[in-house]
């Protein structure tokens, strides 16, 4: 097959435009960069539109070779591409030799199917894709049931967020909606919202996270909006013993989620 050599190729330029949110919103497409990330997107049944790949780079390790064989046996168009092309459309400094264009999944709250003891993460107005992706990794690691973005300032499937999540963003049910709609959804589903607030009286260890619960976190810059001051929301705080008054949102999410996991048990059978 002909190798795409020029970053000016119309197909390459169209893919590169997806680095811009306006084009992602307009087309409903985004970029997935990296071997694990692409494989996890395919595992989740995300629709891949096309793939740009370097056979030489993918052949360097077993995971890359396995993905190359999987792509070769499928129906998604795969374009052998030069390093210059992959650098034009890729993200970060991990040159793994594969970037996929995929269709963004629907993000409606009505699509979520949660268990009775759901553990949900709500992230309000998080600005940085890296923080969003890192919070996704924490949610995946702690076995969260879903992640909901409230009034997001960055789109959930920003390529940098996907990369920061190591593709775990595809392993979790996700949704996005205005904050008041998210609150009403949680309450209607019988899920107790626990809001992390610096001015809360109760410590996070006092929260009963063993039942259906949502941990709600805001941006580091502005915290949570007035929506989460509703009397039906239960505020908790993480103790801050130094000069800073808050943690990075992804770290705060990890602390709260693993406290919930501790209260619920590890979720794994006992070892030998």
The residue behind tokens 């009034």 is: 151
* pLDDT tens over the chain, length 272 residues: 689 999 999 999 999 999 999 999 999 999 999 999 999 999 999 999 999 999 999 999 999 999 999 999 999 999 999 999 999 998 766 678 999 999 999 999 999 999 999 999 999 999 999 999 999 999 999 999 999 999 999 999 999 999 999 999 999 999 999 999 999 999 999 999 999 998 999 999 999 999 999 999 998 778 899 999 999 999 999 998 887 877 889 999 999 999 999 999 865 444 33
Please give the full DSSP string across the chain, using - where no structure is assigned.
---B--TTSHHHHHHHGGGSHHHHHHHSEEEEESHHHHHHHHHTTPPEEEEEE-HHHHTTSHHHHHHHHHHHTSSS-EEEB-HHHHHHH--SS---SEEEEEEPPP--GGG----TT-EEEEEES---HHHHHHHHHHHHHTT-SEEEEES-SS-TT-HHHHHHTTTGGGTS-EEEE-HHHHHHHHHHTTPEEEEE-TT-SSBGGGS--SSSEEEEE-BTTTB--GGGGSTTSEEEB----SS-S---HHHHHHHHHHHHHHHH--SSPPP-
pLDDT of residue 93: 61
- Cβ contact 121:150 at 8 Å: no
pLDDT of residue 213: 98
Predicted TM-score (pTM) of the model is 0.91
pLDDT of residue 117: 96
């Amino acid at each position: 097959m002909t190798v795409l050599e020029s970053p000016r190729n119309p197909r390459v330029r169209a893919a590169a435009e997806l680095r811009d949110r306006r084009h992602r919103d307009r087309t409903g497409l985004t970029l997935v960069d990296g071997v694990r990330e692409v494989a996890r997107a395919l595992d989740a049944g995300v629709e891949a539109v096309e793939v740009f790949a370097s056979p030489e780079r993918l052949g360097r390790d077993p995971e890359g070779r396995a993905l190359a064989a999987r792509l070769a046996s499928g129906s998604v168009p795969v374009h052998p591409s030069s390093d210059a092309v992959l650098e034009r459309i890729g993200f970060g400094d991990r040159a793994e030799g594969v970037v996929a264009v995929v269709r963004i999944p629907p993000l409606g709250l009505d699509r979520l199917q949660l268990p009775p003891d759901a553990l949900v993460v709500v992230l309000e107005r998080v600005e940085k894709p890296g923080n969003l992706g890192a919070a996704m990794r924490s949610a995946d690691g702690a076995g969260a049931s879903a992640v909901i973005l409230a009034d997001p300032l960055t789109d959930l499937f920003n390529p940098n967020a996907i990369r920061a999540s190591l593709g775990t963003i595809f392993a979790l049910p996700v949704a996005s909606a205005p904050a008041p709609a998210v609150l009403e959804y949680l309450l209607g589903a019988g899920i107790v919202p626990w809001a992390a607030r610096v001015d809360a009286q109760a410590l996070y260890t006092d929260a009963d996270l063993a039942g259906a619960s949502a941990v709600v976190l805001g941006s580091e810059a502005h915290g949570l909006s007035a929506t989460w001051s509703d009397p039906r929301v239960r505020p908790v705080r993480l103790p801050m013993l130094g000069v800073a008054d808050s943690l990075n949102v992804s770290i705060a999410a990890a602390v709260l989620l693993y406290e919930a996991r501790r209260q619920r048990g590890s979720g794994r059978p006992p070892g030998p």
